[in-house]
Structure 1
Amino acid sequence: MAELNDSGGGGKDGGKVRSKKSNAKVDLTAMVDLAFLLITFFMLTTSLSKPQSMNLGMPEKENDPKKKTDQIDVADDRTMTILLGENNKIKWYYGLIGSPIEGPSEATYGKAGIRQEIMKKVQSVPAKYNDKTKGLIVIIKMDKKTNYRNMVDILDEMAICKVPTYALVDISPEEVAMLKK
């Protein structure tokens, strides 16, 4: 930038010489260093929250067709099947699909919905056998159009209700038809 020095001749100031004003510059290097030190300090001293996860036992995939898969038979009066469909639809029945002991009934997610039904069964099944080792078995079956959130919600319900045994199983054509009704 060019400066104009007007030092001579008939100015109004009576020939006074003015000193040059220097530009006031602030050196921000120290502030930037301090900011990076503070950022580094807080990054190293804060504890990051760990993602919460639920343990889910899944069977191993077996590629050997010679190996038999063992099918476990359970009493139908200990089994509750929950069907998850599209648009947050949920149906359940107690017993076998051909001759259900109770249901099929529609339910909603949450405290007043499926959780209430699961809690009833969790308490009534061991009382029926007078044996705490024979608890409720919940079979969860999902339609292909079920969203992931519904699966997580029903697994949360299993943890909340403290269901001792539950499994994710493929849905049968009869159950798909039951969901569409």
Structure 2
Amino acid sequence: MAELEVKGGKKGTPRIDLTPMVDLGFLLITFFMFTTTMSKPKAMEIQMPYKDDKLKDEDKNKIKNDEALTLLLSKDHRIYYYNGIGDDPTNPPKVEVTYFKDKDGIRDVLIQKKKTVQSLISQGVLGAKDKVIVLIKPDDNSTTGDLIDILDEMTINAIPVYAVVDITPVDKDFIKATEAVNPQ
């Protein structure tokens, strides 16, 4: 409370005791700390494949070459890509190289693949339920940042189905052959 000090009959200046105000401040801080909610960590949802040992190979879902795009992450932020899954060694796919850049980068490749799949669906080559499937295969010398960047590209471009899988020796040979033809 404010109190007046009077000395010698003169009016004194009021003096305010702020000690209870400190208590009030701590009470308010404590109240707000207990009533606020902390931001919850956001995690990426991962759908793991169902494993059934009794399932025959012909009964499993197989990726069609027309809907698949394979990305090979390599050194120096290079992305080698080809259409299809590249499972026929007698008929190797045409492997091309791109980077994470604004023009003619991986985003343009993904957009073009989505357009191609939509065109094949409208022509009746693919079914109505078919969609773009991207296989991401990071090489041993690719960086974690590249993997994160390519997963961000999947989200940005609304790619419905993608998988991070191990790179095969055949894919490594594709990279070496492409580097021999087109060194960068």
Report the TM-score, using the length of structure 2 for normalisation: 0.65
1:177 pairs with one of 169, 173, 176: 173
The equivalent residue for 2:7 is none
Match of residue 108 from structure 2: 116
Q: Structure 1 residue 142 and structure 2 residue 132: aligned?
A: no
Greater share of strand:
1
Structure with higher Rg: it is 1
Q: Who is 1:104 aligned against?
A: 95
**Aligned pair count?**
152
Q: Which letter does structure 2 place at the counterpart of 1:161? A: N
Question: Out of 63, 82, 95, which is 2:84 matched to?
Answer: 95
* Aligned counterpart, 2:71: 82
Report how far residue 53 of structure 1 moved.
2.8
The CA deviation at 1:166 is 1.6
Instruction: Answer 1 or 2: which has greater helix percent.
Output: 2
Letter paired with 2:36: T
- Corresponding residue for 1:38? 28
* Correspondence list, 1:64-79, <5 A: 70=57, 72-79=61-68
Q: 2 CA distance for matches of 1:150 and 1:174? A: 21
Q: Indicate the residue corresponding to 1:129 in structure 2.
A: 121
Structure 2 residue runs of 5 or longer lacking an equivalent are 1-16, 180-184
> Is 128-137 or 73-82 further displaced after alignment?
128-137
CA displacement, residues 24-82 of structure 1 (integer Å, 9 cap, x when unaligned): xxx986465344323222323434323333322123678xxx65685543321221100
Unaligned runs of 5+ in 1: 1-26
**Residues 50/171 of structure 1: CA separation in 2 closer, same or farther (3 Å cut):** same
Measured in 1, the distance between the counterparts of 2:141 and 2:18 equals: 58
User: RMSD of aligned C-alpha atoms?
Assistant: 3.1
User: What TM-score do you get using the length of structure 1 for normalisation?
Assistant: 0.66
- State the Cα distance separating 1:165 from its structure 2 match: 2.0
